[in-house]
Structure 1
Amino acid sequence: MYPNVELSTLSRYKRMFLGDSTSPKGGKQSKINTQTRNYIARNLRNGSLNGPKGVQSYLLTLGIEMSLRGIRHVLKSEGFEARRKVKTNFVNATNKRKRFAWVKKYQHYTVDDWRKWGFSDETRINMWGSDGKSYYWTDGATDLLTTASPD
């Protein structure tokens, strides 16, 4: 551009006349603005949007087409991460009372008494592959709470 002027001279003049101005950040501009990112983050935390698929359908209503890979990248840049849902047996208050009563009733059984019982193994077997793994997206500090009773 200026063959007779050194880069250091240009840098010195830039500092003198423009002060501490910063150059614009390079790279492609994001399809999702800050306000929409905040809305998506809030709705992921409270469970209104169900992961990247839910975010994708919301963005389509706004007229923004994005791939799931791109949405996952945006979520990770916002501090979210995918975690696997842990499967637990749900025991409500009534079921808990019945189980406790059963334990109290048979707590003094001996090994010989238990040998008279027959327990069926009710293991679920999938014929056509697994049911798959379930994931949820969280930003760590605000994990989704499970709906368990405080007992």
Structure 2
Amino acid sequence: MITPDARGPLPFFVYGTLRPGERNHDLFLRGRTDREEPGRFPGAALYEGPGYPYAVEEPGATVSGELVTASARSYAGLLTELDRLEEYVQGDPRNLYERVARPVERPDGTTTPAWVYLASPAVALRLRAGGRRITSGDWLERG
């Protein structure tokens, strides 16, 4: 687990509807990022939700997505908007997602801490018990 500190704003790891070509990318990210690059989130599996995916921590699995670095001028507003999109409120037991800092792999094999929206514990429990797993770990290959 990573604890955000004084190193500055963290990038976001996006793996579903915020990826390029998906419905929320242009709505939230276009013109607000300095960098977008492929990324991999090891230690998590991907499950289908109602029109969007959930990442659930699971050793040995990997989720594919993009590592998005917000521009300095956009970061605070984007963080607020993404929390709202994901219906995340810190400490709220009704959350569908929890925003957590986790290591994400870049294409060159290095890792960087990033914000990841993981399925909340209650949602993760339901998905593990009977959810539909996206075996490729890639939302774009869900078929």
Does the alignment reach a TM-score above 0.5? Answer: no
Q: Tell me the TM-score normalized by structure 1.
A: 0.16
More strand, by proportion: 2
Q: Tell me the TM-score normalized by structure 2.
A: 0.17
Larger-gyration structure (1/2): 1
